[in-house]
Amino acid sequence: MDEPQDASMGSEEKTTSKMPQQFGVQARGFNDAETATRLATVVGHAVRKLGDTFDLSGLDGVTLAVDYNQALLDLDRGYETSHKLTATNSHVVGVAMTPGVLRDGVLKSHIVLNANYIWPLSDQNDAEGRDNAVHILAHECGHVQVTSAFDNCFPNVLLRQKNSPLLEQIHWKVILPVWDEFAVTSLSAGFGASQTETYENTFINDLAEADERSNKLLLKYQEHGSVDQILSEIYGCYGNLLKFAAYHLGNLDGVGIRWQDSQKTASLLKDHWFLPYFERLEAACIEIAKSYGRWENTDSFMLIADIIDDLVERAGLLIERMDDGRLWVDIPYTPETDPLLCK
């Protein structure tokens, strides 16, 4: 069926202080209304149950979509933006997202779920699939909580920040996903299926490919010549590496395992160039977490900015701030990024 189906969780149901009085679960792209309503109702009850643990007071609603990619594009963000929400589809496949939205000037979080991964919630015969679906829901509920915690301490920043210098914008595009995923994976680690092996493998695979991706981007820079573009690309490349490392570290924190006791990770990082950055990332996330929800300034978050700056410099971008606020970016050739040597 083409029309969305709503399973509204109204105020007549028992609520807690961690839940909005009501929220909607919109099901779209289903073949029949009965199936859509049944699964939307199950999801609504599951989210409300998770509200006993997570602070979901900032929840705007839930979209359960068979047409997941289109649902992301169609989501009403509540403000004008040229940025289009798209599912991750590389060596990692995204199946859920909880973007921020503005409702009457108030920041909320809207959970968008790929229905193909949530079906098992209504199937009592698929225990493995149900556990995976529970974890997906818990993870996204964690995003609602972590976003609200940041917004409560730093109001009128997320989605509403005024124009700021380019490097500051780039820093926050790295800082927030890295911190969010550390915090969320820690909070949701005990729900549903274990993700320890998945997060570890994702981090290890990204680490193995990061330098090659960066060098390819630097080679393409020799063709397009846009400094703003290469800054965003290289920060994004190593920002993703830090994000996947944060997934892994956060999950281990949530299950109470030291990464040094994870044989695969410890063995890989021994004498690896990324080891000091990994250790700094863990220390930074722990430092931020010490004042979770009580941050008075962003100083601890800047620890992540320092790490990504050093990674970008290692990649070959030498950045200097000029007296007038502009950036001077020097990108010298290396054997890996010299177009004459790489032909």
What is the DSSP secondary-structure string of 205-274? Answer: HHHHHHHHHHHHHHHHHHHH--HHHHHHHHHHHHHHHHHHHHHHHHHHHHHT--GGG-HHHHHHHTT-TT
- pLDDT at position 82 is 84
- Smallest CA-to-CA distance from 66 within 9, 109, 2, 139 is with 2
Query: Tens of pLDDT along 58-75?
Result: 999 999 999 999 999 999
- Smallest CA-to-CA distance from 66 within 117, 128, 100 is with 117
pLDDT at 13 over 50: no
Query: Tens of pLDDT along 76-122?
Result: 999 988 888 988 766 667 899 999 999 999 999 999 999 999 999 98
- pLDDT at position 160 is 72
- pLDDT at position 12 is 38
pLDDT at 11 over 70: no
Confidence band, pLDDT 50/70/90 cuts, at residue 200: very high
Domain boundaries, the chain: 5-153, 166-330
pTM: 0.92
- pLDDT at position 119 is 93
The end-to-end CA distance of the chain, in Å, is 53
**Mean pLDDT value across residues 212-231:** 94
Between CA 329 and CA 319 the distance in angstroms is 5
Query: Tens of pLDDT along 282-331?
Result: 999 999 999 999 999 999 999 999 999 999 999 999 999 887 778 899 98
- pLDDT at position 162 is 67
Between CA 218 and CA 162 the distance in angstroms is 30
- pLDDT at position 127 is 93
Between CA 257 and CA 85 the distance in angstroms is 34
CA dihedral 160, 146, 103, 77 (to 10 degrees): 70
Tokens encoding 179:
């911190």
- pLDDT at position 335 is 82
Between CA 87 and CA 90 the distance in angstroms is 10
The packing angle between helices 302-315 and 227-255, to 10°, is 130
Number of helical (H) and strand (E) elements in the chain, helices listed first: 9, 8
Contact 148, 135 (CB under 8 A): no
R_g of the chain computed on alpha carbons? 21
- Smallest CA-to-CA distance from 158 within 171, 166, 148 is with 148
- Between 27 and 6, name the one with better pLDDT: 27
